[in-house]
Amino acid sequence: RWSRVKGRLRTSVGEDVYTSWFARMDLESVQDEAVHLSVPTRFLKSWIQAHYADRVLTCWQAEMPEVHRIDLTVRSAMRSAAPAKEATAPADQRRTEQTNGRHAPELRATATAPVSASHDALGGSPLDPRLTFASFVIGRSNTLAHAAARQVAEGRRGDPVMFNPLYIHAGVGLGKTHLLQAVTWAGNSGSERKVLYLTAEKFMYGFVAALKTQTALAFKEALRGIDVLVIDDLQFLQGKSTQAEFCHTLNALIDAGRQVVIAADRPPSDLESLDDRVRSRLAGGLVVEMGSLGEELRLGILKSRVAAARAHHASFDVPETVLDYLARTITHNGRDLEGAINRLLAHSKLNNQPVTLEMAEREVRDLIRPQEPKRIKIEDIQRVVARQYNVSRSDLLSSRRTANVVRPRQVAMYLAKTLTLRSLPEIGRRFGGRDHTTVLHAVRKIEALVARDNALSEEVESLKRQLQE
């Protein structure tokens, strides 16, 4: 029966996926409605749980309809193996699948699981085998972050720690998770160090779970036994007790000369919910920002994605002109670049057509977003207007009503209304606490004047240009 289930699984996921993930899965026992399976590594376990929980169950039910639960355990407490050894993930294992997979039903560990609750909490978050240094493309915006991450990954146990913590921040899709997982893979395969990758959510979850089972102490101890602690998406760390715990862990690790690597979507100073001590500790290491992906970098990422896809789909190719087109038009983030390549791959495979510019234009239309307009701040407007009319910013905010101040003030309010999304009352507040009707009056007045006064119209246009630069 087990071999028939395996057969089904093999057909269902395909040969590549099967060999990568299921070849080393063993049947331990079948009891009534529960099947107990085991795999050799924690990494395999979490990967299968995140991506294939449903699939495994369905295959069993096809053979044994009474099966309602799959318990998956790790055979021996081994650490994650290197990606090269265990994770020849086929290209069709999409990242999106991983994200969705997080919500897949969890396979529960049996009571006989060889891992304790605290240990389980320390299993780390699932790693994507494709997010390694080898696939990370270096460009102007990430050179420093990459170099620092590499340095950290190459350290050996006992080496002096150069920057601690290493704190990387960047907007969505700019490569934070990729870099952090690369550090984790490299660390786990290269040396005898224990590298643990946790999302802030997983950290909270682990801590809360440990509290519930009264293994919090073990959890803390185990955390402190890590050589490199990698925490992703720190902005999601919430709750007073978890924050306090995070603070203790951070201090303990840093004081013990262990490396901490953190990623978040904002600099430490903007993590409003964290307390001052944690923020200053975070800011005390190396803080690096990764900027937006420049066109060259986008092109590099697209090329590396195509190369990765070609490893499994040799006939897939994307002409240079299409790559250029995508690099130029998809400006937002790495995820969209990846999504674009995935779509082209799917489309060209399904229809058995080569990728053309036309196909690309059609398939990725919704990923192409207009260049996001620069966010203009009211302070900037006030500053630029004050400079143009040779008055001070406080004049604009004051209640003075002399003509040389009134007009610039009205212009500034007009610009605030047309160039920002602020409401009239908000603009009034920002202009020395004026009423919204005053703002409305100013806006109407300038609108009317601009329509017939060429000189003013040009002034306003020039101010807009200065602000948009």
| Tokens linked to 41 | 């590594």
Would you say 40 or 173 has its CB closer to ligand ADP? Answer: 173
Would you say 335 or 436 has its CB closer to Mg ion? Answer: 335
Q: How far is the CB of 168 from ligand ADP (least distance, A)?
A: 9
Q: Please list the alpha-helical segments (H only) found in 256-333.
A: 276-283, 295-310, 320-329
Between CA 400 and CA 398 the distance in angstroms is: 5
Among 220, 279, 335, 464, binds ligand ADP (CB under 6 A): 335
Q: Containing H/E element for 82?
A: none
Contact 309, 91 (CB under 8 A): yes
Among 80, 110, 132, 177, binds Mg ion (CB under 5 A): 177
Q: Containing H/E element for 415?
A: helix 403-419
| Tokens linked to 320 | 């240079």
Among 173, 267, 284, 294, binds ligand ADP (CB under 6 A): 173
332 binds ligand ADP (CB under 6 A): no
Contact 70, 37 (CB under 8 A): yes
Q: Which does residue 230 bind out of Mg ion, ligand ADP, none, counting CB within 5 to 8 angstroms by kind? A: none
Taking alpha carbons only, the member of 420, 425, 423, 411 closest to residue 453 is 411
Q: Containing H/E element for 31?
A: strand 26-31
Does the annotation flag 173 for ligand binding?
Answer: yes
Q: Which does residue 190 bind out of ligand ADP, Mg ion, none, counting CB within 5 to 8 angstroms by kind? A: none
Among 36, 45, 95, 417, binds ligand ADP (CB under 6 A): 95
Does the annotation flag 206 for ligand binding?
Answer: no
Q: How far is the CB of 333 from Mg ion (least distance, A)?
A: 10
Would you say 293 or 411 has its CB closer to ligand ADP? Answer: 293
Return the axis-axis angle of helices 143-154 and 176-190, rounded to nearest 10°.
20
333 binds Mg ion (CB under 5 A): no
| Tokens linked to 229 | 């602690």
Q: How far is the CB of 301 from ligand ADP (least distance, A)?
A: 4
20 binds ligand ADP (CB under 6 A): no
Does the annotation flag 175 for ligand binding?
Answer: yes
Does the annotation flag 215 for ligand binding?
Answer: no
- Terminal Cα-to-Cα distance of the chain (whole angstroms): 68
Contact 357, 319 (CB under 8 A): yes
Q: Which residues are annotated as a binding site for ATP?
A: 173, 175-177
Residues that bind Mg ion (CB under 5 A): 176-177
Binding interface with ligand ADP (CB under 6 A): 95, 131, 135-137, 142, 170, 172-178, 301, 304, 334-335, 338
